[in-house]
Structure 1
Amino acid sequence: MLTAERYITLQNHYVGPGASESEGQEYEASLEELTGLFHCTERNVKMIVKKLQEEELIKWLPGRGRGNRSRIQFMVKRESFLLRFAQQLAERGDYQDAFEFLHSYEEDNHILDQFIKWLNEQFGVKQLSVDHKDKDVFHLPVYRTIYTLDPSNLFFGFDSHIVRQIFDRLVHYDSEKGQVVPMLAHYWETNEDATEWTFHLRKGITFHHGRVLTSKDVLFTLNRVRDSQTNRWILETIRHIEALDDRTVKIFLQQPNWLLPRLLCSSCVSILPEDLLTQDEPSFWSQPSGTGPFRVAKWCDNSMELAVNESYFLGRAYLDGVKIVFLPDHIPNISKVKWENLINNDARVPSQAGGDWELIETLSKSCLLISWNRNKSGPQQSLAFRQAVNLIIDRSGMIDHSGQQGYPARSFLPKEDTSYGIHRHDEEAAKKLLQESGYDGSPISLLTTDGDCINAQWIQKQCALIGIPVELTYTGKNALSKTGTALDADSVLICLLFSDDEICEMDSFQQENSIIHQHLEPGLHNWINSIFKEIYASRSEEKRRVLLQQIEYRLHDEAQVLFLLHRKMNTYVHPSVRGLVINNLGWMDFKDIWLTSSLTAKKA
Structure 2
Amino acid sequence: MNNKKKLETYELLFKYFGPGESETTLADVAAALGCTSRHARTLLQQMSALEWLVWQPEPGRGKRSLLVCNQEPINACYQLMGDALEAGKHESVFKLAGFNDRHVSSELKKYLISSTQHNSQAIRIPFHREIKTLHPHYALDRTERHLILHVFQRLTEDDFGEIKPSLAHHWESDEEGINWTFYLQSGVQYQDQTPMKVEDIVLSLLVLINNPYWRSLYEHIESIDVLSPESIRISLSRPDWHLPALLGRSETSIMPSQYGRLIINPEAPVGSGSFMIDIASSRLFRLKRNNNYSGKNALIDSIELWIHPDWAKDKLCSEGSFFLDQPEQVYTAACNDVGYFYMMIKKPQLRERIVSKAIIDVLQEKRLILGEIYYPVTFSYDDNNECRYYAQLLNQALANHQHVISTCVSFGEQQKETDISLGGIRIEGCSLTSLLAFFYTYSLWPQILSPPLYQKLLALLHQAQATQDKQQAEGVLRSILTWLSGDRILTMIRQESFKLTAPLKIQGIRVNNVGWCDFSKLWVKSH
Task: Determine if the TM-score, normalized by the shorter chain, exceeds 0.5.
Answer: yes
1:600 is matched with which residue? 526
| Aligned residues of 2:287 and 2:302 also touching (Cα < 8 A) | yes
Q: Could you tell me which amino acid in structure 1 is paired with residue 466 of structure 2?
A: A
Cα gap change, 1:269 to 1:360, in 2 (>3 Å): same
State how far apart, in whole Å, the 2-side matches of 1:360 and 1:24 are: 53
1:393 is matched with which residue? 363
1:367 is matched with which residue? 340
2:282 is matched with which residue? 301
Question: What are the residue-to-residue correspondences of 1:139-288 with 2, within 5 Å?
Answer: 139-175=124-160, 178-275=161-258, 278=261, 281=263, 284-288=265-269
Cα gap change, 1:253 to 1:332, in 2 (>3 Å): closer
State how far apart, in whole Å, the 2-side matches of 1:466 and 1:349 are: 46
CA RMSD of aligned residues (A): 4.6
TM-score by length of 2: 0.75
Among residues 508, 518, 526, which one is paired with 1:579 in the alignment? Answer: 508
2:518 is matched with which residue? 589
Deviations 1:510-539 (A, max 9, x none): 22xx58769744645443222112122222
Cα gap change, 1:296 to 1:452, in 2 (>3 Å): same
| Aligned residues of 2:113 and 2:327 also touching (Cα < 8 A) | no
| Aligned residues of 2:351 and 2:489 also touching (Cα < 8 A) | no
Cα gap change, 1:348 to 1:143, in 2 (>3 Å): farther
Among residues 440, 447, 450, which one is paired with 2:374 in the alignment? Answer: 440
State how far apart, in whole Å, the 2-side matches of 1:85 and 1:355 are: 19
State how far apart, in whole Å, the 2-side matches of 1:85 and 1:489 are: 50
Cα gap change, 1:594 to 1:55, in 2 (>3 Å): same
2:110 is matched with which residue? 117
What displacement does 1:157 show?
1.7
1:290 is matched with which residue? 271
Q: Could you tell me which amino acid in structure 2 is paired with residue 156 of structure 1?
A: D
Q: Could you tell me which amino acid in structure 2 is paired with residue 268 of structure 1?
A: E
| Aligned residues of 1:208 and 1:291 also touching (Cα < 8 A) | yes
Deviations 1:425-477 (A, max 9, x none): 478xx97xx64xxx325354453436347623652376259979855544xxx
State how far apart, in whole Å, the 1-side matches of 2:412 and 2:423 are: 14
DSSP 3-state at the match of 2:121 = strand
Cα gap change, 1:308 to 1:537, in 2 (>3 Å): same
What displacement does 1:302 show?
2.4
Q: Does 1:93 align with 2:90?
A: yes
Question: What are the residue-to-residue correspondences of 1:102-141 with 2, within 5 Å?
Answer: 116-122=109-115, 126-128=117-119, 135-141=120-126
State how far apart, in whole Å, the 2-side matches of 1:209 and 1:348 are: 29
What displacement does 1:553 show?
1.1
Among residues 494, 499, 506, which one is paired with 2:423 in the alignment? Answer: 494
Among residues 502, 507, 513, which one is paired with 2:437 in the alignment? Answer: 507
What displacement does 1:565 show?
2.9
| Aligned residues of 2:383 and 2:411 also touching (Cα < 8 A) | no
Q: Could you tell me which amino acid in structure 1 is paired with residue 121 of structure 2?
A: D
State how far apart, in whole Å, the 2-side matches of 1:82 and 1:277 are: 54
DSSP 3-state at the match of 1:296 = strand
What displacement does 1:393 show?
3.2
Q: Does 1:324 align with 2:324?
A: no
State how far apart, in whole Å, the 2-side matches of 1:141 and 1:371 are: 33
| Aligned residues of 1:508 and 1:516 also touching (Cα < 8 A) | no
| Alignment gaps of 5+ in structure 2 | 18-27, 48-68
State how far apart, in whole Å, the 2-side matches of 1:170 and 1:220 are: 13
What displacement does 1:371 show?
3.0
State how far apart, in whole Å, the 2-side matches of 1:600 and 1:518 are: 57
| Aligned residues of 1:217 and 1:274 also touching (Cα < 8 A) | yes
| Aligned residues of 1:446 and 1:489 also touching (Cα < 8 A) | yes
Q: Could you tell me which amino acid in structure 1 is paired with residue 437 of structure 2?
A: D
Q: Could you tell me which amino acid in structure 1 is paired with residue 433 of structure 2?
A: I
Cα gap change, 1:592 to 1:450, in 2 (>3 Å): closer
State how far apart, in whole Å, the 1-side matches of 2:113 and 2:396 are: 38
State how far apart, in whole Å, the 2-side matches of 1:457 and 1:369 are: 12
2:489 is matched with which residue? 560
| Aligned residues of 1:379 and 1:444 also touching (Cα < 8 A) | no
| Aligned residues of 1:187 and 1:199 also touching (Cα < 8 A) | yes
Q: Could you tell me which amino acid in structure 2 is paired with residue 363 of structure 1?
A: N
Cα gap change, 1:299 to 1:359, in 2 (>3 Å): closer
DSSP 3-state at the match of 2:291 = coil
Q: Tell me how many residue pairs correspond in the alignment.
A: 478
| Aligned residues of 1:168 and 1:183 also touching (Cα < 8 A) | yes
Q: Could you tell me which amino acid in structure 2 is paired with residue 281 of structure 1?
A: I
What displacement does 1:264 show?
1.0
| Aligned residues of 1:154 and 1:160 also touching (Cα < 8 A) | yes
Deviations 1:214-263 (A, max 9, x none): 32222111111112112223321111111011011011111122121121
What displacement does 1:163 show?
0.7
| Aligned residues of 2:338 and 2:513 also touching (Cα < 8 A) | yes
| Aligned residues of 1:258 and 1:539 also touching (Cα < 8 A) | yes
1:541 is matched with which residue? 470
| Aligned residues of 1:234 and 1:263 also touching (Cα < 8 A) | no
DSSP 3-state at the match of 1:330 = helix
State how far apart, in whole Å, the 2-side matches of 1:288 and 1:496 are: 27
| Aligned residues of 1:167 and 1:271 also touching (Cα < 8 A) | yes
Moved more, 531-540 or 81-90: 81-90
What displacement does 1:296 show?
2.1
Deviations 1:61-85 (A, max 9, x none): xxxxxxxxxxxxxxx9xx9699959
State how far apart, in whole Å, the 1-side matches of 2:307 and 2:443 are: 27
Cα gap change, 1:304 to 1:547, in 2 (>3 Å): same
State how far apart, in whole Å, the 1-side matches of 2:222 and 2:287 are: 37
What displacement does 1:326 show?
4.4
| Aligned residues of 1:186 and 1:201 also touching (Cα < 8 A) | yes
Cα gap change, 1:534 to 1:113, in 2 (>3 Å): closer
2:385 is matched with which residue? 451
Question: What are the residue-to-residue correspondences of 1:64-75 with 2, within 5 Å?
Answer: none
Q: Could you tell me which amino acid in structure 2 is paired with residue 117 of structure 1?
A: K
| Aligned residues of 2:322 and 2:500 also touching (Cα < 8 A) | no
Deviations 1:389-433 (A, max 9, x none): 1133335xxxxxxxxxxxxxxxxxxxxxxxxxxxxx478xx97xx
1:72 is matched with which residue? none
State how far apart, in whole Å, the 2-side matches of 1:2 and 1:472 are: 47
DSSP 3-state at the match of 1:198 = strand
DSSP 3-state at the match of 1:572 = strand
DSSP 3-state at the match of 1:199 = strand
DSSP 3-state at the match of 2:310 = coil
How much identity, in percent, do the aligned residues show? Answer: 16
| Aligned residues of 1:168 and 1:290 also touching (Cα < 8 A) | yes
TM-score by length of 1: 0.66
State how far apart, in whole Å, the 2-side matches of 1:147 and 1:502 are: 27
Q: Could you tell me which amino acid in structure 2 is paired with residue 170 of structure 1?
A: L
State how far apart, in whole Å, the 1-side matches of 2:259 and 2:97 are: 40
Deviations 1:120-165 (A, max 9, x none): 3248xx554xxxxxx3222233223332212122312211111111
State how far apart, in whole Å, the 2-side matches of 1:519 and 1:300 are: 41
State how far apart, in whole Å, the 1-side matches of 2:79 and 2:329 are: 32
| Alignment gaps of 5+ in structure 1 | 31-48, 58-75, 129-134, 336-343, 396-424
